[in-house]
Amino acid sequence: MSEKVISCLTISWALFFLPINALADKIDDKIDVLLKKMTLEEKVGQMAQITLDVVGKGKSRLESYEPFSLDTIKLEDALLNYHVGSILNTANNKARTPQVWHSIISQIQDLAMNKSHIKIPILYGIDAIHGTTYTIGGTLFPHEIALAATFNPANALNMGEVTAYETRASGIPWNFSPVLDLGLNPCFPRQFEGFGEDPYLGSVMGIQLIKGYEGINNDVSNPRKVASCIKHFLGYAVPISGKDRTPAYIPENILREYHLPAFKAAIDAGAKTIMINSGIINGIPVHCNYALLTKLLREELGFKGLVVTDWGDIENLHTRDHVASSDKEAVKMAINAGIDISMIAYNYESFCKYLVQLVNEGEVKQNRINDAVRRILRLKFELDLFEHPVTNYTDYPKFGSDEFAKYSYNAAAEAITLLKNKNEILPLIKGEKILVVGPNGNSMRSLNGGWSYSWQGEKTDTIASGQNTIFEAIEKRFGPENVSYIAGVQYDNTIEYYKETKVGFDKVFQKAQQSDVVILCLGENSYTEGPGNLNSLNLSELQIELAIEVSKAAKPVVLVLNEGRPRIIAVIEPLCNAVIQTFLPGNYGGDALASILSGDINPSGKLPYTYPKASNSLGTYFHKPSEVVKTMEGAYNYSGDFALQYPFGWGLSYTNFTYSNMKVSKTKFTKDDELLVSVDVMNVGKRIGKEVVMLYSSDIYASLTPDVKRLRRFEKIELRAGETKRISFKLTAKDLAFVNQNNKWICEPGEFKLMIDKQSISVFFE
Ligand code: BGC
């Protein structure tokens, strides 16, 4: 370990023992000194963030030459003439090695610290949302949706810790993660980036991810921690159309009860920064919504950290949303609403010029500027950037290590969810002839999804070629003599191509006939944001045809889904003996799946969303009573209006668990009481297994029609065959409350039903 890191760690530990207030005072004093020295132009520059291509040698700001190198003239213009204080992203949408990152960021910091009048380090930010997206050789984890399926917060903590370490190994101290958007609409192209549909699950996982990123006490001066950025505040993932950055209409009580809790929990957990929703709620673009950005976020939630825009969203107020009649007015609206840093990303000159003018004209108050700059400088001090503006990869020996890979593998193994296992066809019998079919069967790209080595993840097959695809992992596990692969169809061919040539389909049929079992790997190719918009949630026609063709061979079919959101599979599900959801399980997802297929790992994932059966029947498990037409057999299997394929929380195991003896400490309670709810869980099968024990509640009557049930607590446990454990949860009236028509949290007197598995007890709030 170098002297630099040893000294950083020593400083961090010394600071750790200082009272928190003393630390804050010291930083505040330093900020005061700096603020007094800074000109208005320098302050405004701190509020500007540009993308790396802007300062790279290249034809235009949109594209740099490769290999990337900084253009000193451009860099000096941005940093010395306009005092730009923050840079984000990679150049040319390409991942770089830690060595390259170190060289780029060292040069940037050198200029900022040594050549500028004010000597303030640059705050570099990146999207490392499931591991180090933009660093080659780092550890890619499952996406958040898969972490949620583990129902094990330790996996979020592990991902946070490894990602923080490897992001700092790349010289970068600020991570635009976690995504805390509530995934209520499966069409939304960023569904996989969040923790699914449940506000409580999202809060619990989000807190752990932040702890992993920022560490105990949020001491981000530790060179192995990064500042997190919770996003996208607020209500981003629920546009009416399901398409990215299109309008959402959300009543305040809904915003508060469902969308806000994960953000509130993250703010209470000390998250350092927040990114704003690019969208529009109730006609108001969130970037100029004073009520959300200042009244709610600052005044009510008490958020003290830094507020950054999303990409180009101040300009969007003028050019896209037409609420500002000029770019200058857009700057005024956003800064006055409460924005601290503008992710500009290209035209920094006009942002800086307009903001200086607005202050001089009295349209934006000096205080607002000082307030924003104070927060930016505080973060730079907290990250220890003034003393150590860049961390060095040589101090991070565990970067890309097997130890880190194991955390990713474990998370994938706990996430992969067994949705159907007719006649216990799984685990597979050793020695069976296995045919792997489908476009997702031999692709590292589809295992990782978007935000993997590039924005859309299209480079993954090349960069992660050393890791195992599903086919490669199965081949390794079951022996090459037993396993073969045929894609059958590719995403970019048309259905007509296959129907006319029959090339793929005929071969698939023949090969399927020669095998004992078919592993049919279907789903989605990688995407995020606009490119991931859908016109239909149905699985692509091509893949449906392939599944039908495969089934004609009359061999057992295991459908392996590899997708960022639940694509409709109703037509082909009955043709499959088993169904496994892998989500986007990351670089070790193929290996984890092979372990599950072979029975070395007993599956324990549970769906963090409701899997719909038809694209016009979308809903969540916490729907209203009127949405249930008729309950069929099975836990959550409605016919008619609310047709669903699999319910939230669904997931099978190779063993069975039974629940008994549910008890609650009292049946009448007041606002001061704590209820202790307990239950026995027994593994009645033949092998060790993990189970997620979930406690739900139903408010029987309420002034607003209540949700049929809500998840209130959960715990993942492991039980040996025959073992029983008693699990207890604590609840108070606050946990059972909802937001009423006056937008206030309330627990109304009356009956509540508490439910664990099929056990239930009624309690009464007085
Ligand atoms: C995304 C953000 C991301 C930002 C920077 C935007 O397009 O919406 O989630 O952090 O780009 O890459």
The Cβ of residue 343 has, within 10 Å, a number of other Cβ atoms equal to 23
176 lines ligand 1 (CB under 6 A): yes
**What pLDDT, on a 0 to 100 scale, did the predictor assign at position 682?**
98
89 lines ligand 1 (CB under 6 A): yes
Euclidean distance between CA atoms 35 and 40, whole angstroms: 10
Q: Which of 188, 275, 277 has most ligand 1 atoms within 8 Å of its beta carbon, as the pocket-test mutant? A: 275
Contact 235, 183 (CB under 8 A): no
For the stretch 232-241, pLDDT in tens is: 999 999 999 9
Q: Residue 719 pairs with which residues in a beta bridge?
A: 689
Cα 155-645-554 angle, rounded to 5 deg:
105
Q: In degrees rounded to 5, what are phi and psi of residue 355?
A: -70, -40
Q: Which of 127, 286, 346 has most ligand 1 atoms within 8 Å of its beta carbon, as the pocket-test mutant? A: 127
Instruction: Tell me the helix, strand and coil percentages in the chain, rounded to 5.
Output: 40, 20, 40
**What pLDDT, on a 0 to 100 scale, did the predictor assign at position 491?**
78
Using left for φ > 0, alpha for ψ between -120 and 50, and beta otherwise, residue 391 falls in beta
Q: Which two tokens stand for residue 314?
A: 């101040």
Whether 310 sits among the annotated catalytic residues: the reply is: yes
Looking at the CA of residue 193, tell me the nearest atom of ligand 1: 9
Euclidean distance between CA atoms 124 and 90, whole angstroms: 10
Looking at the CA of residue 179, tell me the nearest atom of ligand 1: 9
Task: Specify burial of residue 9 (Cβ count, 10 A radius: 0-12, 13-18, 19+).
Answer: middle
Looking at the CA of residue 176, tell me the nearest atom of ligand 1: 10
Q: Which of 49, 133, 311, 454 has most ligand 1 atoms within 8 Å of its beta carbon, as the pocket-test mutant? A: 311
127 lines ligand 1 (CB under 6 A): yes
231 lines ligand 1 (CB under 6 A): yes
Which residue's CA lies nearest to atom 11 of ligand 1? 311
Pick from 69, 79, 38, 120: which is nearest to 370 by CA?
38
The residues, any chain, with a CB within 8 Å of residue 559's CB and separated by 6 or more, are: 520, 522, 547, 569, 572, 573, 576, 578, 579, 580
Q: Got the DSSP string for 59-75?
A: SBTTB--SS--B-HHHH
Looking at the CA of residue 231, tell me the nearest atom of ligand 1: 9
Euclidean distance between CA atoms 257 and 264, whole angstroms: 11
Q: Which two tokens stand for residue 705?
A: 């029609």
Euclidean distance between CA atoms 229 and 164, whole angstroms: 12
Q: Which two tokens stand for residue 591?
A: 């290996």
The residues, any chain, with a CB within 8 Å of residue 18's CB and separated by 6 or more, are: none
Provide the CA 77 distance to its chain's centre, in angstroms: 35
Distance 555 CA to ligand 1 centre (A): 45
Distance 401 CA to ligand 1 centre (A): 28
Distance 89 CA to ligand 1 centre (A): 9
Looking at the CA of residue 89, tell me the nearest atom of ligand 1: 12
311 lines ligand 1 (CB under 6 A): yes
**What pLDDT, on a 0 to 100 scale, did the predictor assign at position 506?**
80
Which residue's CA lies nearest to atom 2 of ligand 1? 310
Contact 548, 520 (CB under 8 A): no
**What pLDDT, on a 0 to 100 scale, did the predictor assign at position 1?**
34
Pick from 198, 601, 663: which is nearest to 414 by CA?
601
Say which amino acid occupies 197.
E
Q: Which of 306, 310, 341 has most ligand 1 atoms within 8 Å of its beta carbon, as the pocket-test mutant? A: 310
Task: Specify burial of residue 409 (Cβ count, 10 A radius: 0-12, 13-18, 19+).
Answer: buried
Say which amino acid occupies 457.
G
Distance 64 CA to ligand 1 centre (A): 20
Q: What is the 3-state secondary structure (H, E, C) of 534-552?
A: CCCCECCHHHHHHHHHHHC
Looking at the CA of residue 229, tell me the nearest atom of ligand 1: 10
The Cβ of residue 462 has, within 10 Å, a number of other Cβ atoms equal to 10
Euclidean distance between CA atoms 320 and 622, whole angstroms: 34
Euclidean distance between CA atoms 196 and 142, whole angstroms: 14
Euclidean distance between CA atoms 327 and 357, whole angstroms: 12
Which residue's CA lies nearest to atom 7 of ligand 1? 311
Q: Tell me the CA end-to-end span of the chain in Å, nearest whole number.
A: 60
Euclidean distance between CA atoms 18 and 38, whole angstroms: 29
**What pLDDT, on a 0 to 100 scale, did the predictor assign at position 640?**
47
Distance 723 CA to ligand 1 centre (A): 47
Contact 324, 318 (CB under 8 A): yes
Contact 257, 743 (CB under 8 A): no
Helix (H, G, I), strand (E, B) or coil at 527: coil
461 lines ligand 1 (CB under 6 A): no
Which residue's CA lies nearest to atom 8 of ligand 1? 310
Looking at the CA of residue 275, tell me the nearest atom of ligand 1: 10
Distance 445 CA to ligand 1 centre (A): 20
**What pLDDT, on a 0 to 100 scale, did the predictor assign at position 643?**
72
Provide the CA 443 distance to its chain's centre, in angstroms: 21
Provide the CA 92 distance to its chain's centre, in angstroms: 23
Which residue's CA lies nearest to atom 6 of ligand 1? 311
Pick from 445, 489, 527, 532: which is nearest to 242 by CA?
532
Helix (H, G, I), strand (E, B) or coil at 658: strand
Beta strand extents in 235-278 (DSSP E only): 273-276
**What pLDDT, on a 0 to 100 scale, did the predictor assign at position 236?**
98
Active-site residue (options: 219, 310, 699, 757): 310
Q: What is the 3-state secondary structure (H, E, C) of 592-656?
A: HHHHHHHCCCCCCCCCCCCEECCCCCCCCCCCCHHHCCCECCCCCCECHHHCEEECCCCCECCCC
310 lines ligand 1 (CB under 6 A): yes
Cα 294-299-304 angle, rounded to 5 deg:
85
**What pLDDT, on a 0 to 100 scale, did the predictor assign at position 490?**
82
Distance 489 CA to ligand 1 centre (A): 32
For the stretch 331-366, pLDDT in tens is: 999 999 999 999 999 999 999 999 999 999 999 999
Using left for φ > 0, alpha for ψ between -120 and 50, and beta otherwise, residue 667 falls in alpha
Helix (H, G, I), strand (E, B) or coil at 587: coil
Distance 232 CA to ligand 1 centre (A): 9
**What pLDDT, on a 0 to 100 scale, did the predictor assign at position 6?**
35
Residues of the chain with pLDDT under 50: 1-17, 631-641
Euclidean distance between CA atoms 369 and 335, whole angstroms: 8
Distance 234 CA to ligand 1 centre (A): 14
Residue with tokens 């809904």: 254
Q: In degrees rounded to 5, what are phi and psi of residue 653?
A: -135, 170
CA torsion, points 622, 199, 697, 658, in degrees to nearest 10? 90
**What pLDDT, on a 0 to 100 scale, did the predictor assign at position 5?**
35
Distance 764 CA to ligand 1 centre (A): 46
